[in-house]
Chain A
Amino acid sequence: EVQLVESGGGLTQFGGSLRLSCGVSGFIFTGYNMNWVRQAPGKGLEWVSNIRSDTGATGYADSVKGRFTVSRDDVKNSLYLQMNSLRAEDTAVYYCARDNHWSSDIWGQGTMVTVSS
């Protein structure tokens, strides 16, 4: 079964850091680019970051550039998002998603990140 499972969310203070993980199973991880997408409570979806499978090149939304770092471990079949200098507006459910045909075709269940002031 194709599955993405996020972990690492939780409550942290303004200016703090968290590292999210996304474990992958059921498909060849090295064959796919991967995305992080977030959703603030009661709000819409916001693309956060992605990472290519071939070159490891990364992309970030302007709102997180310089604070968040995406990475992947192809041996552990895992995707990561290091989040530093967290702000209240980073409070959201964070989803990892597989990139296929310029779309996100498989999504995890999400992990909640809460930044308190």
Chain B
Amino acid sequence: QSALTQPPSVSGSPGQSVTISCTGISSDGGGYYHVSWYQQPPGTAPKLIIYEVTNRPSGVPDRFSGSKSGTTASLTISGLQAEDEADYYCCSCTSSSSWVFGGGTKLTVL
């Protein structure tokens, strides 16, 4: 699977919404898209915020939402907060031996 493409950076003011795209996702051959999103503040380990395209793990605010259209997945953060400033990565898994991350997007809260 080829690398996934994300915009290098996005920005928004507190309270606004931002969307990060991830192009080049593939299905697992059975029509399922296993897309996940990770948040990584500077100097910390990544944290899962979206799995299976649209699902949020327990404890992740509902300000974070995921979607997919064709071969592009998207992460939307609404009601932007200062603490959301971080790097965000998408990941696509087409099989148990083929996982690919996007290049990452730096979110700046103005």
A residues with CB within 8 A of B: 33, 35, 37, 44-47, 50, 52, 57-60, 95, 97, 100-105, 107-110
Q: Which range contains the number of B residues in contact with the other chain?
A: 20 to 34
The total number of A-B Cβ pairs within 8 Å is 70
Q: Nearest residue in B to A102 (C-beta to C-beta)?
A: B34
Give the contacting residue for A45; candidates B52, B89, B95; CB below 8 A.
Answer: B89
Interface 0/1 of B34-74, CB less than 8 Å to A: 10101010000111100110010100000000000000000
Complex A-B: 30 CB contacts under 8 Å: A37-B46, A44-B101, A44-B102, A45-B38, A45-B46, A47-B100, A47-B101, A50-B96, A52-B96, A57-B96, A58-B97, A60-B97, A100-B51, A101-B52, A101-B55, A102-B36, A102-B52, A102-B93, A103-B34, A103-B36, A103-B52, A103-B91, A103-B93, A104-B36, A104-B46, A105-B51, A105-B57, A107-B48, A108-B45, A109-B45
Contact A44 B103 (CB under 8 A): yes
Give the Cβ gap from A66 to chain B, nearest Cβ, in Å. Answer: 14
Distance, CA A47 to CA B1, complexed state (A): 12
Give the contacting residue for A59; candidates B51, B87, B98; CB below 8 A.
Answer: B98
Closest 4 CB pairs of A and B: A59-B97, A102-B34, A103-B36, A47-B99
Classify the secondary structure of B's interface with A.
strand
Contact A107 B34 (CB under 8 A): no
B residues with CB within 8 A of A: 34, 36, 38, 40, 45-48, 51-52, 55, 57, 87, 89, 91, 93, 95-104
